[in-house]
Amino acid sequence: MNNKTILITGASSGIGEAIAKKFAAEGNKLILNGRNQEKIYALKKELEKSYNTSIHTIIFDVRDFDAAEKAIKELPDNFKDISVLVNNAGLALGVDKEFEGNMSDYETMIDTNIKALLKMTLLVVPGMIQRQEGHVINIGSIAGEKAYPGGSVYCATKAAVKALSDGLRMDLYDTPIRVTNLKPGLVETNFSVIRYHGNKQKADNVYRDIKPLTGKDIAEVAYFVASAPAHVQISEVEILATHQASAQMVWRG
């Protein structure tokens, strides 16, 4: 696919950045969202230099619904027809027991991973219905399949992403619009550094003695599902490192 408009939330790093690169490399236009203006501007510059793409940036925290509304309302005419919405912005905070963690971490995860994804869906999907064209790709997780110790709230948010993806697919089944839930396992990005509140050593330990997935691996799958023929809806894809069998089963040799 090329010459389509792709909106990616949380595009300044990790899986979001890799998805931006892949879709730009294939000749699509991008709307890049992120909080970090410097990183988003640098990515725009790099991609516009390397590929046949043009990029519009929308800088805001996805939890700021007013900013999201304003950004979508004010899209330049040549970026208004969004063909693919990639709801990627999301995070895990902490590995505490459910009864010992802190409410502010819980709220940040719920607001980002669930409420902001819903807000973007509300803002973008009606335009897709009007044009009878579009694809929503939600970045879920293997964590949404089954809870694991120390991850209950994160797992709950990703279970919600699964439910929201399934429900949206049902609500759109009489339209050509497709919905995909991508569910990665271990992907080496800044995910674990954020989860461990900046403790690099603990973060590195998550990917110790295993070759984890990269953002690029997930981007290849995102591009594959988006470019499948129009009658093919890939509803879910779970992507694991070869030596990972479940969220908790990781073979480290």
Kindly list the catalytic residues. Answer: 154, 158
CA distance 14 to 102: 25
Rg (the chain; Cα; Å): 17
Q: Determine the Cα–Cα distance for residues 141 and 159; give it in Å rounded to an integer.
A: 8
Residue 8 pairs with which residues in a beta bridge?
32, 86
Told to check if 247 binds ligand 8X3 by CB under 6 A, we report: yes
Q: Is 215 in the site for ligand 8X3 (CB under 6 A)?
A: no
C-beta of 139: minimal distance to ligand 8X3 in Å? 9
- Selected from 18, 89, 120, 143, the binder of ligand 8X3 by CB under 6 A is 143
Size of site (CB under 6 A) for ligand 8X3: 7
Closest contact distance (angstroms) between CB of 182 and ligand 8X3 is 10
Amino acid at residue number 12: S
Interaction between residue 141 and ligand 8X3 (CB under 6 A): yes
- What is the spatial distance between Cα 185 and Cα 163, in angstroms, rounded to a whole number? 18
Question: Which are the contacts of 159, defined by CB distance < 8 A and separation ≥ 6?
Answer: 144, 145
Q: Is 179 in the site for ligand 8X3 (CB under 6 A)?
A: no
Point out which span in 43-51, 99-107, 141-149, 228-236 binds ligand 8X3 (CB under 6 A): 141-149
In the complex, the residues that contact ligand 8X3 under the rule CB under 6 A are 141-143, 151, 185-186, 247
